[in-house]
Structure 1
């Protein structure tokens, strides 16, 4: 992790309410006056050209904290980048049925807003507008008092999880298997809130917005704004969450509100949520167009340049599994039984089966698969193996979904941005005599 000693431990955040011109003007005044005053005080010197700083721009020295300062409470994660901060979890740290905060991967697109740093939700509101009969502006207390509170274990997975295994390589964070987790989320059903607003027959898509800060520091730039088809939004599994594992959402994971839309890439599960815009067309927000979270509409050869009109939005994540125990490289006793276990999940819902191989895929044995506590949770699997003689072995895991589709032994159909790789996970075991 890079040295933080010369960086401030905070950033200046966007206003919680950026829906009106007065609020935007107030935000600009705050950033230009309080921001520069704070910077001057920190540096112990004047800022000779402060009058020339364009209105609304955050001084770059105040926009250094991308979230990496919060990583001290994480444990064992592999840092892939610190601007913005992205970190994945080694497979053996995914062994918990409920992923703890310290082991949950981090995927940031921008900077952590001040509200999340301060853990201050005072005055926070969520707006539901667009193709609805009754636009809503709800406080967190409104959400808690007007709707049923639900708690579910829900998988959240970056769309690029597994990207590093594509050949030829693609741009983006080079995730291996660890951009995945299954915390317990508490909040209200997104469907209940949308139904109260009254979704019109013209509704096609949702568009999600938060108050995270663009890496440039420009408060007018949206960091990320993705959405889902209205039919997905109205399923009962998606949650507007205010708590993770029984605690208020951490700063890195969306305080004070975030969406959890299970089964889809985590990019649609907007952090720092303050608006859901119901659209009469496919949403075209930041990172919804171009190649962002899109895959070819048909199989292509590796390295193919795909025309934009032939790219479609990534929706359901494919069937996957991971070996979480033992840790790769573990030494075991030849001829003795060793338990192997892991997790399996699927963007369609429940997993049908998991099989493992100890002979490089020549033969497979079925693992014991536990039922999910709720839809879109991952499922624990276990198997007992006996390695016949001393030497090097690999455990391969292969999950199968309810439609009979299994994980491939090699990377699946290539795509330009390296999304949805569900290659079989493998670990190494050394059998000793």
Structure 2
């Protein structure tokens, strides 16, 4: 997205999708209202804070842009929800009894969650982000939930490193190139399971990152976020973090399940998904402003946001209040919880009266910098554009 003339900054554009209409500013692109937003949350997420969420559907809820705050960890009550299939019933009633089978190793074995809890327990902070976060800013109208910035959060997972489990089983097969995880959703009878099942393959090089998690933010992993057990790959897009994981295999090839073979592939607009296209695995460096979002007073203002490095530590974060013409380095807030967590940031700056397009730009330790423009693609995946994620603020 290129910068627009100042005369367009007050105009509004309606972006439609199945089940949602979003009012956004051409410059700020901040969702303002949804005429068909449900009045109540679905039963399986009744415990969440509805005031912090935008309900897109029974299986998709987005965190309000202004609900992130300045803390590192996103409260579970505020965290977005994205389910590819309806959550199974009753599986969190006795979470310690849930079983996961490990295959493609020297000594295949089935573990209960209770078994795993007796192993080397650890906690990892990481960003959970849907591949389509930022889809609402694409102009070609990609299908799927019209996420703006709220299909992301930073949480603390607790569980056992998969690498420790594999060592106990004698190591994985030498020809394994992928780790394939299968979810435990109940599939409709009479249909080819491969067309619906949630089964994802990630490169075996990610093994040292993978966690089998049974807690999130120091509480038992809820059903809405994959409980009783989730396959978590820090630094990777959310679809690879398989919920209700029931089987893990070390495989030579990627799964042929539709969600892997043709789904979540980065492809040109109008092109069908295929196995030879890039898969939505590692997340890129990215940031966005979280406050202020609409209006501010003249004089000293504190500009807040969050930045993530994907699989790398962050080097710096910059903020511009004039649409990217001039940049100032902001400072990170709070503790550094590692390369997979995001870093809240703040910049104190004086703002004169008028309209200001506020944008942010993150750079990681490898020198990767957040790009100004999005990469056009059919499904609206992986949007890290700093132009798209800016906000237009009226200062008076």
TM-score grouping bracket, smaller chain normalisation = 0.7 to 0.9
Paired with 1:134 and 1:310, the residues of 2 have a C-alpha distance of 32
Structure 1 residue 416 and structure 2 residue 391: aligned?
no
Who is 1:14 aligned against? Answer: none
In 1, are the aligned partners of 2:127 and 2:155 still within 8 Å (CA)? Answer: yes
1:371-405 alpha-carbon deviations (Å, 9 max, x no partner): 622230111211111112x2222211111222333
- The yes-or-no answer on 1:106 pairing with 2:81 is yes
Give the equivalent residue in structure 1 for 2:173: 200
- Distance in 1 (CA, whole Å) between partners of 2:132 and 2:391 is 21
1:219 CA drift (Å):
8.7
* Counterpart-to-counterpart distance in 2, 1:307 and 1:323: 32
In structure 2, distance between residues paired with 1:330 and 1:72? 32
Match of 1:311 among 256, 270, 277: 277
Structure 1 pair 111–205 and aligned structure 2 pair: CA distance change class (3 A): same
Where does structure 1 lack aligned partners over 5 or more consecutive residues?
A: 3-66
Aligned to 1:377: 341
2:388 is the alignment partner of 1:431 = no
Q: Equivalents in 2 of 1:68, 1:217: separation in Å?
A: 25
Alignment of 1:249-398 (within 5 A): 249-290=221-262, 292-296=263-267, 303-305=269-271, 308=274, 311-326=277-292, 328-332=293-297, 334=298, 336-370=299-333, 372-388=336-352, 390-398=353-361
Contact 2:133 2:382 in 1 (8 A): yes
Cα drift, residue 210 of structure 1? 2.0
What SS does the corresponding residue of 1:133 show, helix, strand or coil? Answer: coil
4+ residue segments displaced more than 4 Å: 216-220
Equivalent-residue separation in structure 2 for 1:378 and 1:356 (angstroms):
16
TM-score (norm: length of structure 1): 0.76
SS in 2 for 1:294: coil
How far is 1:217 from its partner? 6.4
User: Does the 8 Å contact 2:265/2:274 carry over to 1?
Assistant: no
Matching residue within 128, 132, 139 for 1:160:
132
Bigger helix share: 1
Is the 2:309–2:339 Cα contact (8 Å) retained in structure 1? no
Equivalents in 2 of 1:135, 1:307: separation in Å?
A: 33
Which residue among 78, 97, 102 is the counterpart of 1:128? Answer: 102
Aligned counterparts of 1:378 and 1:191: Cα–Cα separation in 2: 24
The answer on whether the counterparts of 1:182 and 1:378 sit within 8 Å (CA) in structure 2 is: yes
Question: What are the Cα deviations for residues 66-102 of structure 1, in whole angstroms up to 9, with x where unaligned?
Answer: x9222322222111222xx111112211223111111
As a proportion of its length, which structure holds more strand? 2
Change (3 A) 1:124 1:318: same
Q: Greater CA radius of gyration, 1 or 2? A: 1
In structure 2, relative to structure 1, the CA distance for the partners of 1:219 and 1:151 (3 Å cut) is farther
- Find out whether 1:227 has 2:192 as its counterpart: no
Cα distance change on mapping 1:103 and 1:248 into 2, 3 Å: same
Deviation at 1:407, TM superposition (A): 2.1
Distance 2:190 2:237 in 1: 26
Structure 1 250/281 Cα, relative in aligned 2: closer, same or farther at 3 Å? Answer: same
* Alpha-carbon spacing, 1:308–1:272, altered in 2? closer, same or farther (3 Å): closer
Give the gaps of 5 or more residues in structure 2. Answer: 1-18, 20-40
Q: CA separation of 1:191/1:426 partners in 2, compared to 1, >3 Å: closer, same or farther?
A: same
